[in-house]
Amino acid sequence: MSYIQESVVYNIYPLGYCGAPKENDGVQSYRLDKILDCIPHFKKLGINVMLFNPVFESSRHGYDTINYRKIDCRLGDNESFKRICDTLRENGIRVILDGVFNHVGRDFFAFRDVQEKKWDSPYCGWFQNLNFDGRSPFGDPFWYEGWAGHYDLVKLNLQNPDVVNYLLDSVSFWIDEFGIDGLRIDAADVIDCGFFTKLRHLCKSKKPDFWLYGEIVGGDYNRIVSGETLDSVTNYECYKGIYSSHNDHNYFEIAHSLGRQFSSGGIYQNIYTFNFVDNHDVNRIASELHDKNHLYNVYTMLYTMPGVPSIYYGSEFGIEGKRTWESDYDLRPCLDLNNVPNANTQLCEHIGKLSRVRLSLEALKYGKYENVNIMNEKLVYKRYTENQTVFVMFNLTDRYEKVGFDSRCSAKLTDVLGNNEVFDCNGWCEIEMQPYSARILVVNDGEFKLESVESDNTNAEDNSNKETKEEITLGKYRHFKGNEYEVIGFARHSETEEKLVLYRSLKNPEEVWARPYEMFRETIWRDGRQIKRFEKM
């Protein structure tokens, strides 16, 4: 077993996170040191693996590498980064780096040598399809292959032993110098698997539990994952399925993908996938969702499906960001994680709680997967090992719903996401769920409690509605839409004897309204936050 199965990953795009100049200005600055001030935040989130997108010297965005063995001067230097890695490790956080092996920038030393010496350069064979029968789009007196048509990204020739040895020696340097524990392989779907075999042999010989996963947007994951190549891949299929199933109110989509991949007979049941709901290449999840109230279920799904969950920096606070045709810099903002404007702290606390739940439950870390009950707006699936069974339930509607499923057992179920609430179950179970909520139910004898999960009112399913217990009194109140009113009295419905609140508009005192008392004092979900319907002024 790899350490990754006991992990929660936090993904940072360093150049953006640090607010580095978009063009390398050559000025030595130690911007990345600010990450050390955020370690308490990472620990509160339950993070134990830090994934850094490119940190090595580049001309602009990090994927146009200049020097594989020098930290980008806009971030720091080798000594400062070593100190960062050591400090993270001392706090129980491993480090994974982004390995960009498919291409380099035009300022890479070997390409510069070709520009200067042309056919006399010993590095002509380092680049894919380089020849002197034409001119490049940048005006060079030779032609070469750019990655995906981007000629600022010069494609390396990974069939050349000198190139391979240079890259492997660089990785060896990263392991020895910084003590890294894994690599994300950029553009893995276009890299020859023979290179992965050599890379794997090197990394595992230095660290047997070293973890290698590749960026692959589509296709067959098994093509680049085996005992001889990579350990895992990015799960783009489920990334798309998670947000679109919530947007379309169609849990059949994500249930199909999860069942196809991970159920008994599933095509990827032996791959511990790298799971995410956003990253530096795609829209922030808070921008992708039509209804931000679904953020809580989205992250609950991310943490309870097979594979390792990854949080993209800032998204734990519900920040937004979309890529455009011109730029994707909005996806990679400069942030002070200890002071995020308009932060959704409820979501952050919910994610921290999910980390504690996941890392405490064997079934979520190691268990098999099975769909149990699939409906458009409700879903139940099971994670299980020989020692533990967990049912995960979702209600994406804006109303209370009873959700049923066949547990195939007679036992008590403890909702570890809902303050250890216990339900008796004898075969078929039917459990009420709040709007936009989930439950994580552990099959047990009723004595089970997850002590590490505090009663912190972090989301809809575990909210004890402390605000709704507050008594309504005479006085002025503000409705959540902004209008202001004055409570002038109380009454009883003549037929049902239901208690009513009488209130009038402060803007137009002739408008007098009556509303059920319990409705007047309830809390609602709006834009992913829980707020009072009426707030005392």
* Domain CATH code at residue 499: 2.30.30.320
The domain total for the chain is: 4
Question: Which residues does 117 contact at the CB level (< 8 Å), separation at least 6?
Answer: none
Token pair listed for 485: 């009113």
pLDDT given for residue 462 in this prediction: 41
Is 87 inside any structural domain? yes
In one letter, which amino acid is 512? V
In one letter, which amino acid is 405? F
User: How far is the C-alpha of 301 from the C-alpha of 254, rounded, in Å?
Assistant: 10
In one letter, which amino acid is 8? V
Tell me: do 194 and 273 sit in the same domain. yes
Question: Which residues does 326 contact at the CB level (< 8 Å), separation at least 6?
Answer: none
Domain termination site, one of 461, 480, 510: 461
Number of H helices, E strands in the chain: 13, 26
* Domain CATH code at residue 133: 3.90.400.10
User: How far is the C-alpha of 78 from the C-alpha of 463, rounded, in Å?
Assistant: 46
Is 387 inside any structural domain? yes
- Please give the model's pTM, rounded to 2 decimal places: 0.86
User: How far is the C-alpha of 31 from the C-alpha of 73, rounded, in Å?
Assistant: 9
CB atoms near residue 369 (< 10 Å): 22
Tell me: do 168 and 251 sit in the same domain. yes
Count Cα atoms within 13 angstroms, Cβ side, for 321: 23
Question: Which residues does 7 contact at the CB level (< 8 Å), separation at least 6?
Answer: 48, 49, 94, 308
Residue with tokens 């209370």: 400
Is 347 inside any structural domain? no
CB atoms near residue 207 (< 10 Å): 13
pLDDT given for residue 453 in this prediction: 44
Count Cα atoms within 13 angstroms, Cβ side, for 159: 4
User: How far is the C-alpha of 185 from the C-alpha of 233, rounded, in Å?
Assistant: 9
Is 529 inside any structural domain? yes
Tell me: do 182 and 271 sit in the same domain. yes
Tell me: do 248 and 265 sit in the same domain. yes
Secondary structure class of 89 (helix, strand, coil): helix
Task: Find the Cα–Cα–Cα–Cα dihedral 10, 11, 13, 14, rounded to 10°.
Answer: 40
In one letter, which amino acid is 293? N
- 251 and 379 in contact (C-beta within 8 Å)? yes
User: How far is the C-alpha of 37 from the C-alpha of 322, rounded, in Å?
Assistant: 27
Tell me: do 392 and 441 sit in the same domain. yes
Q: Which domain holds residue 495?
A: 467-536
Sheet holding 146-147, edge to edge: 103-105, 150-155, 146-147
Tell me: do 215 and 323 sit in the same domain. yes
Instruction: Let me know if 496 is exposed, middle or buried by CB neighbors in 10 A (0-12, 13-18, 19+).
Output: exposed
Distance of CA 117 to the CA centre of its chain: 46
Tell me: do 262 and 321 sit in the same domain. yes
Domain termination site, one of 433, 461, 489: 461
pLDDT given for residue 495 in this prediction: 74
pLDDT in tens, the chain (537 residues): 589 999 999 999 999 999 999 999 999 999 999 999 999 999 999 999 999 999 999 999 999 999 999 999 999 999 999 999 999 999 999 999 999 999 999 999 999 999 999 999 999 999 999 999 999 999 999 999 999 999 999 999 999 999 999 999 999 999 999 999 999 999 999 999 999 999 999 999 999 999 999 999 999 999 999 999 999 999 999 999 999 999 999 999 999 999 999 999 999 999 999 999 999 999 999 999 999 999 999 999 999 999 999 999 999 999 999 998 888 899 999 999 999 999 999 999 999 999 999 999 999 999 999 999 999 999 999 999 999 999 999 999 999 999 999 999 888 999 999 989 999 988 999 999 999 999 999 998 666 666 644 444 334 444 333 334 578 898 999 998 889 999 998 988 887 778 899 999 999 988 998 988 888 887 777 776 778 888 898
Tell me: do 146 and 264 sit in the same domain. no
Bridge partners for 99 per DSSP: 185
* Domain CATH code at residue 379: 2.60.40.1180
Q: Which of 210, 208, 153 is nearest to 186 (CA)?
A: 153
Question: Which residues does 325 contact at the CB level (< 8 Å), separation at least 6?
Answer: none
Tell me: do 231 and 185 sit in the same domain. yes
Token pair listed for 283: 């829209």
Tell me: do 167 and 115 sit in the same domain. no
Distance of CA 428 to the CA centre of its chain: 34
Token pair listed for 128: 């894919």
Secondary structure of 302-313 as H, E, C letters: HHHCCCEEEEEC
Tell me: do 140 and 61 sit in the same domain. no
Tell me: do 174 and 256 sit in the same domain. yes
Is 389 inside any structural domain? yes
Is 179 inside any structural domain? yes
Domain termination site, one of 411, 438, 461: 461
Phi, psi of 140 (to 5 degrees): -65, 150
Is 359 inside any structural domain? no
Token pair listed for 323: 């890529």
Is 1 inside any structural domain? no
User: How far is the C-alpha of 95 from the C-alpha of 315, rounded, in Å?
Assistant: 20
Residue with tokens 């402390």: 466
* Domain CATH code at residue 88: 3.20.20.80
